[in-house]
Amino acid sequence: MSGAGAARTAELAAKVEAFVREIVIPYEQDPRHTSHGPSEALVVELKEKARAAGVLTPHILPDGSHLTQRETAMVLKMTGLSPFGPVACNTAAPDEGNMYLLGKVGSPEQRERFLRPLIEGRARSTFFMTEPAADNGAGSDPSMMLTTARLDGNHWVVNGRKAFATGADGAGIGIVMAKSEDGACMFLVDLPDPAIRIERVPQTIDSSMPGGHAIVKIEDLRVPSDQMLGQSGEGFKYAQVRLSPARLSHCMRWHGAVTRAQEIATAYVCRRQAFGKLLIDHEGVGFQLADNLIDLKQAELMIDWCASVLDSGAKGIGESSMTKIAVSEALFRVADRCVQVMGGTGLTGDTIVEKVFREIRAFRVYDGPTEVHKWSLANRIRKDALDRVAR
């Protein structure tokens, strides 16, 4: 990062931090939070506040270019200081990843129609890839995709079911993955559409993402050919374009949230007494917070390392897998210790710590469960070893 670039980004990150701490955090106890995330009215209100403060979509510059990944890390960690900061600042999943993908793969017309409203925070989006386990559809293994796309004149006809579509309920824009004769494809659609029916929105352990995570049925959805994103059969390639940066941005946001949990836990143990002294003065408590500092620093270094790899132009598939595993597991340990040192209070909704713990639990599964990333790394190790033997 150049000196001028670093200074500009540090200034932006400080502005975002001030906004999240002063404006968003007071909203954490707002009654408009539901088990499926903040209500639409609350989302709109938070985004208006961010717009007024000049911190809406801070990672995309007015000319449409993105901050580098290293710079994005500085800013997204700050939006993450509250679980609702990313929604307010328009850096939340799945919009942030969808904006990135549309910017990379969308045609100029597609960008104008589907990307612009997202960047301006006027619409939310959803990404339909995973399918219900009950149908034995795409999950950890996306190649098991059952949703089909058939060309009919100048339209594609899409049929299938999707699961865990974050934000589908209330979204204005969707990216649908389906299989044509050529292989996986992606389609851009306006929502709601009567051919995409929400069957239900299951209760999940997390609750920060607006709209929750819907199961939908797609029945004879007709999509004009010019709404295909990129080329037929290239869908998994585009999914990879989205996945490495998207999983890294989850690491950035949740790093911010867990940093905040550590702040709250620290304040608790420096105030609360047991057995004649402050909790912090008990070695068993102090060591847990020290372990947290170490985990947080290691996570930060992994994020910056992976961001540098992506900034070099590499796809960073292995690096983002390693980072996703290391960071999600480390942040979970930190969140768990924060709950523990706060005793019963850590398990209540009186502070955001309990919520952060639940959110991080889900993060160990989405964007590739830990085991799937380890398995793909093991495959690489195996291939490299066998290639070396063959040489």
140 vs 231, which CB is nearer to ligand FAD?
140
Taking the complex as a whole, how short is the minimal distance between the CB of residue 86 and ligand FAD, in angstroms? 14
- Give the binding-site size for ligand FAD (rule: CB under 6 A): 22
Residues 233-292 touching ligand FAD, rule: CB under 6 A, are none
Helix axis angle, 317-341 to 235-269, nearest 10°? 20
Q: In the bound complex, which residue of the shown chain has the CB atom lying closest to ligand FAD?
A: 139
Q: Which of residues 166-225 bind ligand FAD (CB under 6 A)?
A: 166, 204, 206, 213
Backbone angles phi, psi at 368, to 5 degrees: 95, 110
Nearer to ligand FAD among residue 166 and residue 320 (C-beta): 166
Which of 139, 144, 200 shows the shortest CA–CA distance to 168?
200
Q: How far is the CB of 204 from ligand FAD (least distance, A)?
A: 5
In whole angstroms, give the CA distance from residue 3 to residue 1: 7
One of 172, 183, 286, 369 touching ligand FAD (CB under 6 A): 369
Of the pair 204, 345, the CB lying nearest ligand FAD is at 204
Task: Give the contacts of 250 (CB within 8 A, at least 6 positions apart).
Answer: 93, 324, 328, 363, 366, 367
Rounded-to-10 torsion of CA 198, 167, 325, 238: 80
Residue 119 near residue 57 (C-beta atoms within 8 A): yes
Site for ligand FAD in 321-340 (CB under 6 A): none
Residue 14 makes CB contacts below 8 A (sequence gap 6+) with 78
End-to-end CA distance of the chain: 39
- In the complex, the smallest distance separating the C-beta of residue 246 from ligand FAD, rounded to whole angstroms, is 10
Indicate the residue among 206 and 295 with the shorter CB distance to ligand FAD: 206
Minimum gap (Å) between residue 138 Cβ and ligand FAD? 8
In whole angstroms, the minimum distance from the beta carbon of 141 to ligand FAD comes to 6
Q: Which stretch binds ligand FAD (CB under 6 A): 3-11, 59-67, 112-120, 163-171?
A: 163-171
Q: How far apart are CA 312 and CA 306, in angstroms?
A: 10
* Side-chain half-sphere exposure of 334, counting CA atoms within 13 A: 31
Which of the ranges 48-56, 247-255, 318-326, 366-374 carries the binding residues for ligand FAD, by CB under 6 A? 366-374
Query: What residues numbered 64-123 form the site for ligand FAD, per CB under 6 A?
Result: 94
Residues 116-145 that bind ligand FAD (CB under 6 A): 127-130, 133, 139-140
When the beta carbons of 83 and 285 are compared against ligand FAD, the nearer one is 83
Nearer to ligand FAD by C-beta: 58 or 368?
368
Nearest distance, CB of residue 198 and ligand FAD, angstroms: 14
The three-state secondary structure class of 252 is: helix
Q: Would you say 156 and 231 are in contact if contact means Cβ atoms under 8 Å apart?
A: no
The CA–CA distances, whole Å, from 137 to 141, 237, 391 equal 9, 19, 39
Residues near ligand FAD, by CB under 6 A: 94, 127-130, 133, 139-140, 164-166, 204, 206, 213, 362, 365-367, 369, 371-372, 375
